[in-house]
Chains A and B, each alone.
Chain A
Amino acid sequence: MVIWLIGLSASGKTTIGRRLHGLLDSPFGRWVLVDGDAFREVMGDAGHDLEERRKNAYRISRLCRFLELQNLNVVACVLSLFPDNREHNRGLFADYREVYVKAPLEKLAGRDNKGLYAAARSGALKDVAGVDIPFPEPTHPHFVLDNTEDTGDFTGLALRIAEGLGLSIAREYGYPRPGQSPEKYQYTPFEGPGFLPRYRTQREKTLADLESRIARLESGLSGLAGAHFLAVKYALPPLAGFFLGRELSEEHPPTPAPGTVSSRGLMLESLRGGGAGPDAGLFNLLKRFEVTKKVHSAYRVPEWRKAADAEESILDRILLALALLDRMGPGHHAARGLIAFNAVLKLNDLLAAGASALATPGELYLAKLALALELKAFSRLQEAWHG
């Protein structure tokens, strides 16, 4: 597909085109951004009079066709002065979508990102489209985006184009982003109303994967039995109790060294109490996780620094998520609950990103629980928010 974004200078076509490209490009469909100004700079030989502009317009069309033939989709941000070139595109591309990014000339002159309109009006510059070069508006674009208001919400505008063209945003929910530190949650771009459904779908996919792995495990090991309070608490099959009892060393909890606390002991105690009782220790673990994105097996107190021989395990991260989920909802302070849920989302992001590395039965059972309970808590929160 080739999306041809047409607009005069300062209409916002390039900024919106960049956001649109960011929203559409995914491993499931590759998109390339072709910016008319950047292309002109790369080629270095195109002038600004009408004939040169025409030549350049047809060159951009040929480049986009070249990309389309390699199964690459294109967002092209072009001034596109020539109706004949637009018609040519309709026949050239297998799937052509024309979008007009529209704003009144006086508005564009007010923005004047490149100073073109001021220079043209003072006579210092010639061949400026919309001033001394006529700009025939597209007569039958597939979508017209009115960008008169300076909302600054370019992602929102890009989403309106995607919606107007009937395109689904293929981008999947996934945090932390590949190659991005898990600390970098701040100022993540707003991804529109589709973001929360995508989050839910992604979590459900991870859950389904865990369920099928658990089913395979149970069919291969039926007959084993055991008991563990977590299995009872969450109505897990007896098999889960057997593994959890063994993996969590409930009968033989590790004895913390003097001046340290055992994270697992603290979390199991909190889980055993069903979210009742003091939560200061648990929230200190939360704070350490928020700062370091790690849950270590033991911390030096009272400063809450990692103990010298402390290790990190995925099971402890899952247990922290479960213990924090117990601290939400009725009977708990709303702000505390929100702080807890915020950390749960981050813990479970790491869990979902590394789900293929979950190795033991205990990890599988508890990971499934942590994700399923997070989704339930999210539904309650969403319902409360929408009142």
Chain B
Amino acid sequence: MAEFSMILANNNRSKAYLQTLCAHGILPARVLLLREGGRRLPEQTAHDKIPQGRPSGKFIRSHPETGIAFDEKESLESTLEQHGIAAEALDTLDMNSSPVADRLRALPGEFVVYSGPGGVLLKPSVLAQGKKLIHVHPGRLPDFKGSTTVYYSYLLERRASASAIFMEADLDAGPVLLSMDFDLGPGEQDIDYLVDPAVRTRVLLECMRDLDRLAAAASPQRGEGRTFFIIHPVLRHLALAQPGGKGSEHG
């Protein structure tokens, strides 16, 4: 399998990625951890306090539809330590900053899995570092570009999808390596902190298992597709108010 590195911000998605890949013996050669002092990203949970020690106890998040489970309480540092993976922390969340560009160039392998802050448009200086950045977008492309697409595909199709792409200058526009769709089961859905990380992790796992072939066959997206913007709380609550779900007025 091709050598690869990872760039991770401390959130459930990164934890799910790293723990799942490690559990399947797919280990990155090196990891860059992005953080910015004590700043908490909107997608971070109470368990993502920075700096992160080794909290006791576990908080297993499990998503049967994708077969993904991860421990929300296990910090990225402790997973890296357990598996002896070399890592470096940078005091920035800005993918376009020069420290990130410099470190990116020096990362081992041609491929770098990205799980930093969302909605980032990469500058040419970052894209020119000779790496292929793999990003898993939570939606089928090009039909569901943009933000919070996991909610939109749920509202429009009652399923969640994810697509692994090579990042390019335009948002969610790069060649697609792999897309998968998952029917969402009835009942409670923690979309932000469980469903979204789980569907993306499943696609990443399948992508990394067959990376050489998928990378060679990655195809440009067909058509311009459709761009969605951050979902409004009313639509978000409507999505969660599925019959039998936690927000249901009927269930």
Q: Give A contacts to B, CB under 8 Å.
A: 10, 15, 110-115, 118, 150-153, 156, 175, 183-188, 190-193, 195-197, 199, 287, 290, 334-336, 338-339, 341-343, 345-346, 349, 378, 381-382, 385-387
Give the nearest-CB partner of B61 in chain A.
A152
Q: Which residue of B lies closest to A154 (CB)?
A: B46
Closest CB-CB distance, A286 to chain B, in whole Å? 8
- Quick one: which of A112, A115, A338 has the most chain B CB within 10 A? A338
Q: Which residues of B contact A150 (CB under 8 A)?
A: 59-60
Where chain B touches its partner, the secondary structure class is loop
A349 to B230, CA, bound (A): 14
Q: Does the CB pair B192–A151 fall under 8 Å?
A: no
* Contact, CB under 8 Å: A190 / B61: no
Q: A10 CA to B156 CA in the complex, in Å?
A: 39
Shortest beta-carbon contacts, A-B, top 5? A290-B229, A345-B232, A187-B42, A112-B57, A111-B57
| Chain A residue at smallest Cβ distance from B240 | A190
Check B249–A193 contact: CB distance below 8 A.
Answer: yes
Task: Tell me whether B233 and A188 are in contact (CB under 8 A).
Answer: yes
- Measured CB to CB, the residues of B under 8 A from A are 42-43, 45-46, 55-61, 72, 143, 147-148, 152, 155-156, 188, 190, 192-194, 226-238, 240-243, 246-250
Specify which chain B residues have a CB less than 8 angstroms from the CB of A175 in the assembled complex.
232-233
Q: Is the pair B229, A190 in contact by a Cβ cutoff of 8 Å?
A: no
User: In the assembled complex, which residues on chain B have CB atoms less than 8 Å from the CB atom of A349?
Assistant: 232
Nearest A residue to B245 via CB reads A193
> Closest CB of chain A to B143's CB: distance in Å?
7
**Given A112-B57, A339-B229, A378-B234, are A152 and B147 also a contact pair (CB < 8 Å)?**
no
Known A334-B156, A381-B238; judge A190-B60 contact (CB<8 A). Answer: no
Q: Which residue among A111, A113, A186, A188 has the maximum number of chain B CB atoms within 10 Å of its CB?
A: A186
- Give the shortest distance, in Å, between B31 (CB) and chain A (any CB): 25
Q: Is the CB of A185 within 8 A of B247?
A: no
Q: B230 touching A151 by the CB < 8 A rule?
A: no
13 pairs of residues in contact across A and B, judged by CB atoms under 8 Å = A15-B46, A111-B58, A153-B188, A156-B246, A175-B233, A190-B246, A191-B233, A191-B237, A195-B237, A195-B247, A287-B229, A334-B156, A381-B238
Q: Are A342 and B143 in contact (CB under 8 A)?
A: no
